[in-house]
Structure 1
Amino acid sequence: MIDHKLIAKYDKPLPRYTSYPPATSFHNGYGTEEFREHVLASNEQNPQGISLYLHIPFCPRLCLYCGCNTLITRQDELIERYLQALKKEIRMVAGWIDLSRPLTQIHWGGGTPNALSAEQLGSIMALLNETFHIQSSTEVAIECNPAHLDHDYLEALFQMGFNRISLGIQDFNEEVLKTVHRDVSKLPIEELTQAIKDRGVGVNYDFIYGLPGQTEASFGATIERALELQPDRLVTFSYAHVPWVKPHQSALEKPGLPSADEKLAMFTTAYRIMSESGQYDAIGLDHFSKHGDELSKALRAGQLHRNFQGYCTRETTGQVYAFGMSAISQLYDSYAQNHKNIKQYMEAIEAGLPATEKGYHIAPDELLIKEVITELMCNNRLNWKELADRLQSSPDQLKQSTAYRPEKMQAFVADELLELSDDELRITESGRFTIRNIVAELDPKLNNGQQRFSKSI
């Protein structure tokens, strides 16, 4: 199923294409006034859905693999000040949003959102309920560290209306967790999973491969155990070793990181186990969802989409209004990122100003490129006419915007990674592993500037 020679051939630094243009294009010329103008304009733009992201940066302990924007603290005064700023930012931005629009998603990320007390988290959920129209169809999701999760906290989450919980398990091997300073689950994962399922709430599992102490066999055992527990969705994240960005990661070099070949073997083994189970569909490169899950249904219908919250359906997607330090709003034609420094973030909000540090205004031709890339990345196919009709454009205009050239695609066709016709591009099963390479040929701006990217596979 997975040709290692082809993977080695195409494994080179490329954007991840979770957004277009990528976050490396954000600049400081985009400021607070631009953000406010774009939020106001977003009320008349599509998608009409409202998607909220709340960033909780706090963690009781630093996991050595972490690449997120986090803050290791137990200072109650700092946490409370941050939460007050977060509430003020929600009220500020909500004042610019047409609140008659449907609220489709709420996502809590971090950091460790469940490092907050249930009362702290509940006070923010109460504000969201007062401000926005949360419906039964709204997805309300939270990322949780199982080390800080028990039945009482779960019950509080259920009472607040959370209907999807992601468990950051990372690995079932406790020796691996110990090496990377990740605390083990307070309760057995089996017990947590059953408690969540008993309430009809969706449960996701998150894992990381490429950590010290992991082997192909051990990571395969972790995925096999996860398969027995039947989460609704499962993700296998590739560990990104970037000590020049996150200096604490250099500590993982002492116990020793797996080689590139060993890491690839972990990935391919996990993919094989999930694919051959007959119970899950591959969503993108490293996500899996059960056959009856809405993501699987959307994939089969060609209606899968994604935003900074992750994969979603076209029906549930929304423009993302993000709150908290480092949070990125993803509007129709712009991106806006808040200050990554907590002090700068709080001071801006306390002064009654948006906390925008940088962003990007997406030009009209880039909007077309963004839609082309998103369609191919999510649904593994691109019908030029269907997409053009949806965008009120034309196939020729889409091809010109992306600088599409059939001859540039012939190498992928020859390697049986891509099926090509005048009307359509279709990614083959093997081509899923080189999709970033294929998409890169549709990106006319890729070679503009000296940017550092992760490997494509």
Structure 2
Amino acid sequence: MNQELLNKYSVPVPRYTSYPPANFFHEGFTEESYRQAILESNRQEPRAISFYIHIPFCSQMCYYCGCNAIRMRDRKTVRHYIDAVKKEMQLVFPLISHDRKVSQIHYGGGTPTSLPIEILKELNGQILNEFDCIEQPEIAIECHPGYLKEEYWEALPEAGFNRVSLGIQDFNEEVLKAVRRKPSFLPVEEIVSRMREKDISVNLDFIYGLPLQSVESFTETIRRAITIRPNRIVTFSYAHVPWVNPLQKKLEEAGLPTTDQKEALFTHASALLREAGYQSIGLDHFVLPEDELYHAVKEKALHRNFQGYCTRRTTGQVYAFGVTGISQLAHSYSQNTKDFDTYLRQIEEGRLPVSKGYLLDPQEQITGRVIETLMCNYHIDWQEIAAYFHRPAEEIKQTIRYDEAALAAFARDGLITFDENHLQMLPEATPFVRNVAASLDPLLLHTDKKFSKSI
């Protein structure tokens, strides 16, 4: 990638973790809209159920975070929140058909491991006592290793978890200090070894694009990660969105890398990971060859929901609980209120705490499928999309924002190849997949929404 291409394509575009992006959600989608959407979801695909539980609490607020998080509260308030989450489950569970099975449970935040392990076990128990699971469901939790001692790691499998994501972000302590992130309390090598002994799959999560990172320092971080050999290594691109989290302005003071410096961090890390035998998945995941995500990519059958990348086996409609939680059903999204006290009050009143959402019309369902396919598999087979929707391929193209001149420009720049039946990202151009996806999105023709840059 030359500097000219980086300058041309490092522009604000959606991350497309959902379609449409969450900043298109609106307040016209109400509690009753969500209730009806849940009932309809029982007749829609996929049949599997994914549950997401949002734990907003953090002992310390990291400067880079774009998540919905708050400072840790007193024990009584935390208990009040957990009871509210359990009550929200009691409001939603009767609306979900019990002949459906759970494929995923995911805890995000915030810092889910800020909770005592007994509470996590309690929440898992409420779900697993209510619904059956598919064979080998994924029950995962995001972990902040800076605060966790040996006993906590030992108890995670007993609480039902079979995957943990360690938010390392960087092994360089000067970088961590600059972004106000506490380093791991125990050696990460020891944590991964203990989890492996208990058949727990491990992700190590890193962020590139932070202050003080250099190619040399981030290379050392990735080399250490490779030596540890976790199941998955994730290299998230730092998204600078200070209008979402004003704390990110602190990083401007420390100095953020330029676009070409940031791209160099990823390029060198990616090369190291591939040399070590890791396979590239989507925008930011690297997995070992035996991972089911890699098999899905080879079959061009990788999916993504708000839980992250998944296979057809684990793909489920997502029902979210907790403040700010976003449910992702077949044809709709519903987001809970972001206000902590409002969430508690509405749950106490026996209400679903919906603040906004989105109901996709048939055109948007098609666009969403096209963009997800490209973002996950870097490839679109127009006949396959047409067969899925039982419509001619030309009608699919007319429904979305298919612009042959725009695609030809991408092709001239060496980003894609395309013909009448296929669109394919070139391997060295996959960091620009968001740009290509945005070119197919009719919603971006007239919008004032703000997005992070693609690189």
Residue type matched to 1:382 in 2?
I
Q: Summarize deviations over 1:327-383 as a string: whole Å, max 9, x none.
A: 100011110000011111111111101010000110011101111111111111111
Alpha carbons 1:402, 1:444 under 8 Å: kept: yes
- Partner residue of 2:313 out of 315, 318, 325: 315
Q: What is the CA–CA distance in structure 1 between the aligned matches of 2:341 and 2:295, rounded to whole Å?
A: 43
Q: Counterpart in 2 of 1:127?
A: 126
Q: Counterpart in 1 of 2:263?
A: 264
Backbone CA RMSD of aligned residues: 1.4
Q: Summarize deviations over 1:37-87 as a string: whole Å, max 9, x none.
A: 000000000111101000000111111212111111241111010000000
Give yes or no for the alignment of 1:64 onto 2:86.
no
Q: Summarize deviations over 1:223-278 as a string: whole Å, max 9, x none.
A: 1110111111111112223333322222233333333332222122212212233x
- Indicate the SS of the match to 1:142: strand
Residues 155-164 or 44-53, more deviating = 155-164
Residue type matched to 1:17 in 2?
Y
Residue type matched to 1:126 in 2?
G
Residue type matched to 2:102 in 1?
L
Q: Counterpart in 1 of 2:448?
A: 450
Structure 1 residue ranges without an equivalent (≥5): none
- Indicate the SS of the match to 2:442: coil
- Partner residue of 1:415 out of 400, 413, 416: 413
Q: Counterpart in 2 of 1:297?
A: 295
Residue type matched to 1:347 in 2?
R
Give yes or no for the alignment of 1:17 onto 2:16.
yes
Q: Summarize deviations over 1:427-448 as a string: whole Å, max 9, x none.
A: 1112312111111221112122
Alpha carbons 2:10, 2:259 under 8 Å: kept: no
Alpha carbons 1:7, 1:433 under 8 Å: kept: no
Alpha carbons 2:306, 2:328 under 8 Å: kept: yes
Give yes or no for the alignment of 1:288 onto 2:286.
yes
Q: Summarize deviations over 1:283-330 as a string: whole Å, max 9, x none.
A: 112211111101111000111000011100122101100000001000
Q: What is the CA–CA distance in structure 2 between the aligned matches of 1:364 and 1:167, rounded to whole Å?
A: 39
Residue type matched to 1:66 in 2?
C
Q: Summarize deviations over 1:400-432 as a string: whole Å, max 9, x none.
A: 111313232111111222111211111111231
Q: Summarize deviations over 1:197-218 as a string: whole Å, max 9, x none.
A: 1111110011112222221110
CA change 1:372–1:135 in 2 (3 A) is: closer
Q: What is the CA–CA distance in structure 2 between the aligned matches of 1:96 and 1:252, rounded to whole Å?
A: 44
Distance apart, 1:136 and its partner CA: 4.0
* Aligned positions, number: 455
Q: What is the CA–CA distance in structure 2 between the aligned matches of 1:27 and 1:428, rounded to whole Å?
A: 36
Residues 238-247 or 190-199, more deviating = 238-247
Distance apart, 1:194 and its partner CA: 0.5
Give the TM-score normalised by the residue count of structure 1. 0.97
- Indicate the SS of the match to 1:40: helix
Question: What are the equivalent positions in structure 2 for 1:250-399 lying under 5 Å apart?
Answer: 250-277=249-276, 279-399=277-397
- Indicate the SS of the match to 1:348: helix
Structure 2 residue ranges without an equivalent (≥5): none
CA change 1:254–1:453 in 2 (3 A) is: closer
Residue type matched to 2:299 in 1?
A
CA change 1:86–1:364 in 2 (3 A) is: same
- Indicate the SS of the match to 1:28: coil
- Partner residue of 2:403 out of 402, 405, 408: 405
Q: Counterpart in 2 of 1:138?
A: 137
Q: Counterpart in 1 of 2:189?
A: 190
- Indicate the SS of the match to 1:69: coil
Q: What is the CA–CA distance in structure 2 between the aligned matches of 1:348 and 1:454, rounded to whole Å?
A: 32
- Indicate the SS of the match to 1:7: helix
The percent of aligned pairs where both chains have the same amino acid is 47
Give yes or no for the alignment of 1:36 onto 2:12.
no
Question: What are the equivalent positions in structure 2 for 1:85-164 lying under 5 Å apart?
Answer: 85-164=84-163
Residue type matched to 1:232 in 2?
N
- Indicate the SS of the match to 2:323: coil
